[in-house]
Chain A
Amino acid sequence: MALHRGRGFAAVNYPIGMNLGGDPSQALVHANPDGKFTVTLSSIDLGQGMKSVVRQIAAETLGVPVEDVYVDTADSDTGPHCMGSFASRGTHRVGNAVIQAAQEARAILLEAAAEELEVDAADLVTDGEGNIHVRGTPARTITVMAAAQAAQFRQGRTIAGRGIFLIPLSDVDPETGEMTPVSCFAHAAMLVEVEVDDETGEVRVLDMKSAYEVGRALNPKLVEQQLRGGAWMGMSHALWETTEPCYPDRSHRPVDFTHYLMPGPGDLAPHHISILERPAPDGPYGGKGPGEMCANPVLPAVVNAIYDAVGVRIDELPATPEKILRALKAQGGARPKRRL
C-alpha cells in the first residue's frame, strides 16, 4: 500500500442570484419617534449575516449610526416580499432594495429637519453620529431624534421609504438563443492538496489555498467566516456527504447524523484565504455575494487532486473510498501524475 499526494486546481465564475420569472426583493424603512430606524424585510438571515450587512447598508445610506438601525425579518406575512435567501442573492438584491428605501426615508428626514431649522433641505448633511446640520455651518444643527420627533408630533409627516430591486426576467432570443439572466458575477480559484491511500481508498485534504473575488467585502470578518465555513462544506460535499449506496438495499440507508457523515473538527485542512475586492457597479456599495460560491471550487479541485495523485477520474460525487477503490481496481492500480 502507498500514500499518494496530488494537487488539483479549479476556478469558478459564480452568478449572483437567479432568473426564473425575474428576481425581486423589497424593503421598507421607517423612523421611530426616538430617531431610530427599522428596516422591515421578509428576507431571512440563516446565519450568513444578512441582518448585519443590511444594517450597515441602511445606516450608511441614512447617514445614522449603525446602532440606531434595527432590522426586522420576523415574518413574511408582515414584511414586504422577498424571493428568499438563496443563490447568494441576499447582499446584492436585498442590499440594493434597502439602499432605495433608505434614500427615500433620508430625503423625508432631511425635509423634516429643514422645516425645523428653516433652511433648504438640499443644504443639509448628516454626520453619521445622529446629527443633521447645514453644510459648512455645523452650529446650525438638529439631532436625528429631534427631527424624527418634530415629524411625528408637530409636522404630521411619516419618515419612511420603499425599495425594490428587480433583475427582470430575461427571455431567450428565439433567433440567437442569447439571454442575460445575470448581471453580476463573483469569482473564485482554489488549489487543493490531497493524500490518497491506495489500500483503503481514503482521501485526506492536506491544504487549501483560495482566492475569492467578492466585490466589496462589506463586512470583512463575516465574509472570511462565510468562506471558511463554506469551503468546509465544499470539502464535505466532495468527500463525505451521501446517503448512497446502501447495502444490501435502500432499507439500510442512513437515517440520522450518526450515519450521514461530515468532516469533523479532526478532519480540517488549513485553508489560506485571499479576499479580492473588485466593487461591482450594480452592487450595494460594490458588494456581490460570497454565499454559495465559497463551496463550489472545492469539489472540482479535490477531484482533480485525486486524479493527480492516483490517476483515476471520479465523476460522481462524493469521492468515497469505495468509488476510489473500484476505480483503482479497474485501472490496475495507482498511476500518479498522469497528464491530461
Chain B
Amino acid sequence: MHWEVIWRYREVLWNGLIFTLQLSVLSIVGSLVVGVVMGCLGALPNFFLRKFVATYVEVLRNLPVVVKLFFLYFVVGLEAMPAAVIALVTHQSAYIADLVAAGLRAVPREQSEAAYACGHGQWQIYRHILLPQALRIVAPPMTSQFIEVVKNTSTAMLIGVEELTFQTQAIESETFRGFEAASTVTLMYLAMALAIAGGMGLLERRLRLR
C-alpha cells in the first residue's frame, strides 16, 4: 500500500471534489425546480399540458445520461460544464416530476375543492395547500433522487470535466496506484451520499405531517 500517493495528490482530489460538488448542487437545484414545475403542470386539468409532461417524462427517462451528455456536448455544441448540468437536470427532473405528480395525487381532492369554494385560485391552492403536502410525502424517495444526481456527475468525465472520477483515473494512470485512489474516492462519494441522507432526514423530521 502506498497511501502517501493520496496525500501527494491531495490538491488534485480537492479540485475534483469541487467540480463534483458544483455539478451536484447545480443539478440538484435545477432538477428539483424543473421537476416540481413539470409535476404541477402535469397535474393541472389540461389535456395538452398533461400530454406534454407525460412525453417529457417518458422520453427523458428512457435515455441514458451519457447519451444526453454526448448529444448536448457534441451535437448541440455546449461547453462541458453547461452540457453536464443540463444533461443531469433533464435526466433527474423527469423522475422528480413523476414523483411530485404522485405526491399531488395523494392529497385528498376535498382539500382543493374546499379551497376553491373559499375563493382561492389555482396558484394559491398549489402554493399553500397541495405542494407543501406533496413535498413532504415525497421527501423520502426524493433523497435517493438527489443521491442519484451525485452518482451521475461522474459521467461528466467522459466529456473532460475534471471531477472526482476523472481525477481518480488521472492519478491511476500517472502512478499506477489505482487501488488507493479508487478507495479514497469511493469513500468521498459515500460521504456525500450520507450527508444528503442525513440532511434530508433532518428536514423530514422538521416538516413531518402532524
Answer yes or no: do A and B interact: no
Q: Which residues of A contact B (CB under 8 A)?
A: none
| Residues of B in contact with A (beta carbons under 8 Å apart) | none
